[in-house]
Amino acid sequence: MFKRHRNFCIFLFMLILVPLAGEPKFHPFSGDFENFRVSFGSPVFLLFLLWLRRVPFLVSGISTGIAVVVFRGLLDVWTGGMSLSAGIWAHAPTFFYYFAYAGFFILPNFDKNHIYHRAIQLAAWSVVSEIIASIAELSFTQLLFYEIFTLPSPEILARLTAIAFLRCFFILSFFFLTQLNATESRLQQEESELSHMMLLISNLYEELIQLNKSQKNAESVTHDCYKIYEQLNEQTNNEEQKQLAQKILSIAGKLHEIKKDNQRIYAGLAALTNNHHIDDYARAKTLAHLILDSQRKYARSLKKNIFFLSKVDNTLPPLHVYTLLSLINNLIANAVEAIKTTGSIRLSLQRQTADLLVQVENTGSAIAPQKLSLIFQPGYTTKFDQDGNASTGIGLSYVKDLAQTLGGSVSIDSDGQHQVCCRLKIPLTACSASPTPAFSFAWPAPGSKKTIPDPACSSGQTI
């Protein structure tokens, strides 16, 4: 509906503007053709022919020809005092100019939707149409007023050709420049939209990896809870312990539902991003970018001004995504939460002989020297929410237990004023690319030992 209304308005505008544009004129011939004029009417008419995509060429030619003849007749009535019929008759040959001009454009069967891709052909055809239309006007001038017909002389044809070149290329240059500008604007908009879409997909992909990690955690914890339930259920006849076993079974059931929900969400996000499989291993730089980007969002959600930066050793082999996400996210999230309002966090991933050395250094928070020995104890915390509720205090103890399970270690130092540095060291054989998963997300049971595969480390790979 909008396009139809727009085309109708452009059509009316053509019927008004083309007659007006035809008034600034000059007469290139004398004698029998002294009434033949050269004006801006035909270039403007050509512009409207190209602009009006849904109006047939012949309809535009007939309507414009009538409008021009009537306008010039009325102008002669107003300025020369002649009758309207005489004024219209005097300018009747002009009708055949616009009729022939528009009709000649029908012959090559131009597709108006693709007319911009045929610039050279369009320019040549416009020049020919201009010449044919001018010859038609001159011929009908002879027939209507002198009742004779003679072919235009070579001199007249040369003048008509020169005038056609000047008028057509002037208006076509203007037309295609405007179209080029419109195309560039459209391309810039499309490029901006594409960049925005790629950013959304990139962010979605990062969240997909985090969700997959959460999914694996839920599955592992569900399995552990069910094992504990089986042990309690088989080893005791105590009614209270049996009730405890049932509660653990209930927790396992709820975790199972969380896992299923995660799987459904994961499947939907994977379809949106066209990523139906997330690799278990990634380059160190990719991993660092993923971690810092998610933590940057977390810092913004807490309304904290934190500057993040990273340093990554390019000789590191591909690293196990979920193992490192689980460890490093805990450390950096802990730093984000500890920083009061402003600070910086620097993540470093370096090779140290056969180990991966991870360092998380931050400013904007500190740990008192006497509390450093307590920081890894389960349940110990120095963080409270805005309602005064203490944190669970299991994040750092989880990192320590997992690091030790993998054959590594973790330590924290602080100057007691405004800096904290956490160092995590893990054997590359436990966290780099291997034929089998390096780690399944199970919380190590007290006193249990976890067997770690010892695959060959691709330490010679440069990424």
Say if CB 152 and CB 138 are below 8 A apart: yes
Q: Give the fold, CATH level 3, of 280-463.
A: Heat Shock Protein 90 (3.30.565)
Q: CB 202: neighbour CB atoms within 10 A?
A: 14
pLDDT at 78: 85
CA distance 269 to 448: 37
pLDDT at 428: 92
Residue 449 one-letter amino acid? K
Say if CB 335 and CB 432 are below 8 A apart: no
Q: Domain coordinates of the chain in residue numbers?
A: 2-152, 280-463
pLDDT at 194: 62
What tens-digit pLDDT sequence spans the chain (463 residues)?
A: 555 677 778 888 888 888 887 776 655 555 545 555 556 677 777 777 777 767 888 888 889 889 988 988 888 888 877 888 888 888 888 888 888 888 877 766 655 555 555 666 777 777 778 788 888 888 888 787 776 767 777 777 777 777 777 666 666 666 666 666 667 777 778 777 765 665 566 556 657 766 777 877 888 888 888 888 888 877 777 777 778 888 888 888 888 888 888 888 877 777 766 554 556 788 899 889 888 988 898 999 999 999 999 999 999 999 988 788 888 988 998 899 889 899 999 999 999 989 999 999 999 998 888 888 888 776 666 555 555 454 544 678 778 888 888 899 999 999 888 899 999 999 999 888 753 333 333 333 333 333 333 333 333 332 2
- pTM value? 0.44
pLDDT at 440: 38
Of 58, 25, 156, 142, residue with least CA distance to 92: 142
CA distance 139 to 141: 5
Say if CB 384 and CB 291 are below 8 A apart: no
pLDDT at 173: 64
pLDDT at 420: 92
